[in-house]
Amino acid sequence: MNNWTFDEKQHESPPLPSPMGPQSLRIWASLILLSVGFCMHRMGPSFNRRIFGFPLALLGIVIFASISRPSQLGVEERQFFETVVSNYLWALLAITGTSFVLTGSSNYREPNYLILLIGWLQVLASVFLAFTELMESSIIEISHSSFTVFGLIIGTSAFVSGSVFAERFAAMEEESKPLSIEERELISAILSDRLEGN
């Protein structure tokens, strides 16, 4: 008769993950609302649901800012929350500064030099604050951030290179025939309905 022992530890079921607390749920709810609000806002004025974009995004920001007990968050949620809190100032300056620069530039209108000046000052201030935070980090954190930035540069360069290659070497197609009177009237009616929100 063979003697054998039953090792209970080897046959124990793995522990179930702990349920997500209400504080962690608020983190994910704020991110979802912010993403949905941004997507709705980018739909353009021809869609009626565009009006819900900004209120939803604002609600997401308010929920995130109302988290008063980060110690009750999960590990991942707490790390994300601490990262946002420690970097929100220069990130906010960078976003608003870039918006001012794009608004004041001469894309479709005369340049507004005052708005451009305010935007570039905010961008420079964000760069200064970002470098200040970077100098307070450890060598390991700086190296990890450098790898991330390097990966973003590679991805952006590949995207820009692909776009330039496609535009320069794509075969030119023949121009399409002009629209008929019926097609013009149909397109005009559709655009009018969309722009007027009907």
Mind listing the pLDDT tens digit of every residue in the chain (198 residues)? 455 554 554 555 555 455 667 777 888 888 888 888 888 877 766 567 777 888 888 898 888 888 877 777 777 778 788 878 877 888 888 888 888 888 887 766 777 888 889 989 999 998 888 878 777 666 666 676 677 778 878 888 888 888 777 777 766 566 677 888 888 888 888 888 777 655
Nearest to 49 by CA among 61, 58, 62, 39: 39
Would residue 162 count as lying in a domain?
no
pLDDT, position 113? 84
For CA atoms 179, 181, 183, 186, the dihedral sign is positive
Q: Is 49 a member of any domain? A: yes
CA distance 118 to 145: 28
Amino acid at 66: S
| pLDDT value of position 175 | 67
What pLDDT sits at residue 131?
79
Number of domains in the chain: 1
Q: Is residue 53 part of a domain?
A: yes
Question: How far does Cα 116 stand from its chain's mean position?
Answer: 23
> Which amino acid is it at 175?
E
| Buried-exposed string 85-121: b where 16+ CB fall within 10 A, e elsewhere | eeeeebeebbeebeebbeebeeeeeeeeeebbebbee
Question: Does some domain include residue 56?
Answer: yes
Is 123 in contact with 94 (CB distance < 8 Å)? yes
| pLDDT for res 6 | 46
Q: Which residues are within 8 A (CB) of 137 and not within 5 positions of it... i.e. 6 or more apart?
A: 145
CA–CA separation, 34 vs 53, rounded Å?
A: 9
The domain in which residue 47 lies consists of 20-73
Residue 47 lies in a domain: yes
Cβ contact 57:41 at 8 Å: yes
Residue 112 within a domain: no
* 99 domain residue, yes or no: no
Residue 69 lies in a domain: yes
